[in-house]
Amino acid sequence: MPQRRTSRYFTATVRDLTSDGRGVVAHPGGRVCFARGVWIDEVAEFELVATKGRSGVAELRTLITPSPHRIAPLCPHQGHSQGACGGCAWMFVEYSAQLQAKERRVRAALARLDRQDRVLPIRSAPATTGYRNRAQLKTDGEVIGFVSEGVRAISPIKSCAVLSAHNQQTLDALLGKLPNPAWRPRKGNRWRTIDIDETVDAGEASIDARLPFQQPNNAQNSYMRSWLGERLEQAAHGAGVELFCGSGNLTDVIAPHVPEVLAIDVSGEALAVLDHKRLAGVRAMQCDLGSAVALRRALAGSAHATLLVLDPPREGLLHRQAVFDALPGLTDVVYVSCDVASFARDVADFLKQGFDIDEVQPVDQVPHTPHVELLGRLSKRGR
């Protein structure tokens, strides 16, 4: 078919991938455009569908030169057009290529700090299907599914290739309850949420209320915990601080190695679960970690701590100076991150405080998505 060279339709090569997995292409008019469902070095015809400033959103219309890594998705619901499920955005690409793209992004971010040599080979997932131990489904009382990529609409599903066997059974049972007038959205809303994990069945699924956070991949979480335990064995610490401790996924690992641990989180519900574990030497504290004043107050009295472990949400550690001021005795930092950009930003400030990066271990926590988990170990220079 002849190529249409108009401002709306254009042919381009995918040169890079964004952090959310979209392809980066150049519009002939000079705009940088972002398109879903394409891979690095693919050549395709695109349609420019939206613009903002000097950037734009493009949609794939005709794939001219596909990547040798392109494959048929495992899931019939996967896709990038309206109505398809975009939850596993990279399922159309061989797993080895997914891993390479993730590791490359981590190395590029650390190269800006001249620390790309500290990045270890990415830890691949033992299983790329049937691994997900939790999910948030959407329903309007007529269908159940996930949000369709790029639009605010439910993509109905009958099965999900990445759900664990337990969660797939729960989904099957929930589908059997349709239609369900009790699940119809309230006025002004498009859907209601149904949170599931391996601790609940269909009768206990949480409607419009999040279940406590947990890492979504049991096998990779076990690896992360083992990795942390091995690092803690390499240095003795009398006191440590854990920020964003949640319900104690990593506190369980820290406590046997550190006699005194101050574990801080914003969620009282999560801290109640941690308290119930009665870990020796652990003092749990609720704190608004988005407030520098509250964080300074929470850390008062912990100046003798030599270890910091943190596992923040995507925005990272917002009040780094408050931590530096309150914890002058730090010699070792373990930073678990779910966002490459905020990790690199925060680590840059640790470097200015006299720390250096010993290692960064990328972990593929969520196969078939752009997400990559980072395990970073830093230590004070000249200690």
Catalytic residue set: 338
Report the C-alpha gap between 130 and 69 in whole angstroms.
22
Provide the pairing of β-strand 134-139 with 144-147.
antiparallel
Amino acid sitting at position 341: A
Burial 78-88 (b: 16+ CB within 10 A, else e): bbbeeebbbbb
Distances (CA, A) of 292 to 284, 318, 321, 325, 326: 19, 8, 9, 11, 11
CB crowding 149-170: b at 16 or more within 10 Å, else e: beeebbbbbeebbbbbebbbeb
Q: Which residues contact 75 (CB under 8 A, 6 or more apart)?
A: 85, 88, 91, 159, 160, 161, 162
294: left (phi over 0), alpha (psi -120 to 50) or beta: alpha
